[in-house]
């Protein structure tokens, strides 16, 4: 089941759009409203979520991977099971998979490939040090971000696979699977090294080492077939790099690198050597002859000796394989020789026709030659001598070849939705240029990505031609004037802005004209997604506040006098039976003493009516020796009231005890009103709540004070204690 845009997971993650998927999962771009950041969410497909064994393994492995933190690993933020939906919340990487990158370039530059392999190896090394094996290393699980950082994704998922689930991803993974994985044998960190070797092979050769009609055929090839050296497909591959690749891809794990530290060291040394000699290497074309092939095969086979085979039988097999390989090379050379002879015959015929056509001009040519030598030996010449002459001829020849090359047609690649620098590199590899003709805002493409191109993909062009492109400026800044923020509450404005991907900062101000908690103004007038908008919230008119007097344990007459003297009014008065407070005296007040209120505000109170009529002298004496005590230990999530909006939205909350005493409701304040934000987890924790004597039950209430509405009620039992 695909998730629609706007769907919320855990009341926190809002689905933006689907960005990918495979045999096992669907991947979505989502926004985390709690931390205000974009994330990637990988949701297991429904059929795998029903497999209890798979889900168990998946959770264990994914949670282990969530503990990894490395620049070359895609971070896992959370592993969630919600309503039988299993998903992983991950770091969102803006970039391209290595598989797509290879597809766009054909094969990578050698130094670029080594650098990518190094970053992958470092990420895997971090996992291996924590006893986590990836088991599904492949270019599809390697992401190149827009800043060039390489990150490995999908740790731990492969281990969760069973016989029932293996076929779901086998086609995507089998080209990179180690021989021991293909045979269902024990796997360890050396399996990842094999898969990394296959990925590096593809980077430098532009193809996978083994192919077949189906997944089974490819898997068998990994187990049984000899690897074709990648230099057969790319002559720029040095023997040192080829040796590294072939060692990673040994059939026997014991013949591979035993850890990634060894591999990293050799790749680093090779990269240093290549930087020292890059000009020399790049200026030459290295051809693989028979001696090179024999040498490479010798290295490959020496490293691939099976542990259960020794002596003459293995030597004979090596010789047979070598003869077979050399026979293939001879056949190829023979075919090339035949082709060469045919080409020579063609050239001979061509020359005959040219000579016939020029027969009439031979005399003229002879005269020109004679004149040339007369001028030359007379001591004057307009032509450079000896080597200089050769250089000019060579240069002219090169220029002619270059001109011919420039005129050759090429197919324009599809560079839309690629980063500008990647697109430019792709065009330059085909001897094409890129020119930015305009730029505009785009809701889907990030800044500096290609929106459109001219000529269109697959059109014919000449080398040196220019491809005109339109570049994305990213999402258009939001015009706040179009959001109808005027005349609404600050809370409502906050929700609107956060829904547009903006951050909100609230500043309180007094206002003579704007009601309390309403929006006065905002700044700036336009903002880009992710930026902060300041909302100025009205506190109402500025007035001189009055301190509320303390009324508790005072007689009612005195309490009324104190309220009126302070410029306040008497609010609700409740009469409550009490065995601990004398009749006519104040038990509690509904506004906390010393708190500041506006002039004319009302203050209510509860006054004692004395003990209930049935209370005897004995009972009164008992109250002096016993108390009724209750306790509670829980929490209340304020987000349950106002939603997962943000830390900027706030409410006033109090906690009180409600009891029925002799038919009358009695309230006892446990927590005075407090201003709390939407991301608060409120502790409702009281070890010793003293209730009314003889009452064994009560309710602890969480109350929103502005509306006096009960948000949550917890029943508590009271026990008589000394």
Query: Annotated catalytic sites, by residue?
Result: 136
d(CA 601, CA 308): 94
**Helix 260-276 vs helix 239-248: crossing angle, to nearest 10:** 170
Question: What letters, b where the CB count within 10 A reaches 16 and e where it falls short, cover 538-554?
Answer: beeeeeeebebbebeeb
Contacts of 708 (CB under 8 A, 6+ apart): none
Report whether 296 contacts 239 (CB < 8 A): yes
- Tokens at residue 186, please? 């024990």
**CA–CA distance, 718 with 711 (Å, rounded to integer):** 22
Q: Are 301 and 229 in contact (CB under 8 A)?
A: no
Distance CA(303)–CA(281), nearest Å, equals 27
Q: Give the chain's end-to-end CA distance (angstroms, integer).
A: 61
State the Cα angle at 48 between 45 and 50, rounded to 5°. 110
Degrees, nearest 5: CA angle 562-564-565: 65
Cis peptide before 695 (omega within 30 of 0): no
Token output for 279 = 């000009």
| CA dist 288 → 24, 474, 482 (Å) | 42, 48, 67
Distance CA 192, CA 181 (A): 10
Q: Quick one: CA dihedral 561, 562, 567, 571, positive or negative? A: negative
CA pair distance 489, 520, nearest whole angstrom: 9
Q: Per residue in 168-205, is it b (16+ CB within 10 Å) or e — as a string?
A: bbbebbbbbbbbbbbeeeebebbbbbbbbbbbbbbbbb
Residues 6+ apart with CB under 8 A from 539: 508, 509, 510, 511, 516
3 state DSSP class of 664: strand
With vertex at residue 413, the alpha carbon angle to CA 412 and CA 414, rounded to the nearest 5 degrees, is 125
DSSP per-residue codes, 227-246: PPPGGGT-TT--HHHHHHHH
- The Cα–Cα gap between 715 and 61 comes to 41
- Angle at which helix 166-173 crosses helix 215-224, to 10 degrees, equals 60
Token pair of 558 as six digits: 């005195």
Q: How many CB atoms lie within 10 A of CB 666?
A: 21
Cα separation of 36 and 530, whole Å? 8
Please state, in angstroms and rounded to a whole number, the distance separating the CA atoms of residues 266 and 273: 11
Per the CB < 8 A criterion, the answer to whether 245 and 200 are in contact is yes
Of 239, 320, 272, 250, nearest to 114 (Cα)?
272
- Cis bond before residue 152 (omega within 30° of 0): no
Are 563 and 594 in contact by the 8 Å Cβ rule? The answer is no
């Amino acid at each position: 089941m695909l998730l629609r845009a706007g769907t919320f997971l855990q009341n926190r993650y809002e689905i933006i759009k689907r960005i990918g998927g495979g045999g096992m999962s669907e991947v979505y771009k989502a926004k985390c409203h709690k931390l205000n950041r974009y994330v990637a969410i990988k949701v297991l497909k429904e059929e795998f979520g029903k497999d209890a064994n798979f889900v168990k393994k998946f959770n264990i492995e994914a949670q282990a991977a969530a503990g990894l933190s490395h620049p070359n690993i895609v971070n896992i933020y959370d592993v969630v099971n919600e309503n039988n939906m299993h998903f992983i919340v991950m770091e969102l990487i803006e970039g391209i998979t290595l598989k797509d990158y290879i597809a766009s370039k054909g094969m990578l530059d050698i130094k670029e490939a080594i650098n990518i392999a190094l970053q992958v190896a470092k990420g895997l090394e971090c996992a291996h040090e924590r006893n986590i094996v990836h088991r599904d290393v492949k270019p599809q699980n390697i992401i190149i971000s827009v800043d060039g950082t390489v990150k490995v994704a999908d740790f731990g998922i492969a281990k969760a696979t069973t016989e029932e689930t293996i076929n779901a991803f086998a086609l995507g993974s089998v080209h990179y699977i180690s021989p021991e994985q293909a045979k269902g044998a024990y796997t360890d960190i050396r399996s990842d090294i094999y898969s990394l070797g296959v990925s590096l092979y593809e980077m430098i050769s532009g193809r996978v080492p083994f192919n077949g009609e189906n997944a089974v055929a490819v898997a068998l090839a990994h187990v049984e077939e000899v690897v074709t050296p990648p230099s057969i497909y790319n002559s720029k591959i040095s023997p040192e790099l080829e040796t590294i690749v072939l060692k990673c891809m040994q059939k026997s794990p014991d013949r591979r690198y035993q850890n990634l530290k060894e591999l990293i060291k050799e790749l680093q040394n090779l990269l240093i050597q290549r930087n020292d000699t890059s000009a020399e290497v790049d200026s030459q074309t290295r051809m693989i002859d028979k001696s090179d092939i024999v040498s490479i095969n010798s290295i490959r086979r020496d490293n691939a000796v099976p542990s259960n085979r020794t002596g003459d039988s293995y030597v004979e097999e090596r010789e047979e394989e070598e003869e077979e390989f050399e026979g293939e090379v001879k056949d190829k050379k023979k075919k090339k020789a035949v082709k060469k002879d045919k080409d020579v015959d063609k050239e001979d015929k061509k020359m005959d026709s040219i000579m016939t056509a020029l027969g009439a001009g031979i005399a003229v040519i002879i005269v020109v030659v004679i004149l040339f030598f007369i001028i030359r030996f007379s001591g004057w010449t307009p032509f450079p001598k000896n080597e200089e002459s050769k250089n000019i001829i060579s240069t002219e020849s090169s220029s002619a070849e270059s001109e011919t090359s420039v005129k050759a047609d090429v197919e324009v690649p599809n560079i839309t939705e690629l980063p500008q620098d990647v697109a430019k590199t792709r065009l330059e590899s085909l001897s094409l240029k890129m020119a930015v003709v305009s730029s505009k805002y785009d809701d889907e493409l990030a800044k500096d990505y290609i929106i459109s191109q001219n000529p269109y993909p697959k059109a014919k062009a000449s080398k040196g031609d220019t491809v005109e492109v339109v570049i994305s400026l990213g999402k258009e800044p939001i015009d706040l004037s179009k959001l109808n923020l005027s005349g609404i509450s600050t809370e409502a404005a906050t929700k609107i802005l956060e829904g547009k991907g903006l951050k909100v900062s609230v500043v309180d101000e007094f206002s003579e004209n704007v009601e309390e908690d309403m929006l006065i103004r905002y700044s700036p007038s336009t903002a880009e997604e992710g930026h902060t908008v300041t909302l100025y919230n009205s506190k109402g008119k500025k007035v001189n506040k009055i301190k509320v007097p303390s009324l508790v344990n005072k007689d009612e007459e005195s309490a009324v006098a104190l309220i009126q003297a302070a410029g306040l009014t008497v609010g609700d008065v409740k009469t409550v039976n009490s065995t601990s407070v004398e009749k006519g005296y104040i038990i509690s007040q509904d506004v906390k003493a010393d708190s500041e209120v506006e002039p004319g505000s009302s203050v209510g109170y509860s006054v004692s009516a004395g003990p209930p009529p049935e209370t005897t002298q004995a009972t009164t004496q008992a109250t002096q020796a016993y108390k009724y005590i209750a306790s509670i230990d829980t929490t209340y999530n304020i987000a349950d009231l106002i939603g997962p909006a943000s830390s900027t939205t706030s409410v006033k909350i109090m906690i009180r005890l409600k009891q029925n005493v002799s038919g009358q409701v009695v309230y006892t304040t446990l927590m005075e009103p407090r201003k709390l934000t939407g991301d608060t987890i409120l502790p409702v924790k009281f070890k010793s709540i003293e209730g009314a004597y003889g009452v064994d039950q009560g309710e602890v209430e969480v109350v929103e004070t502005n509306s006096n509405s009960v948000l949550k009620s917890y029943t508590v039992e009271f026990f008589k204690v000394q």
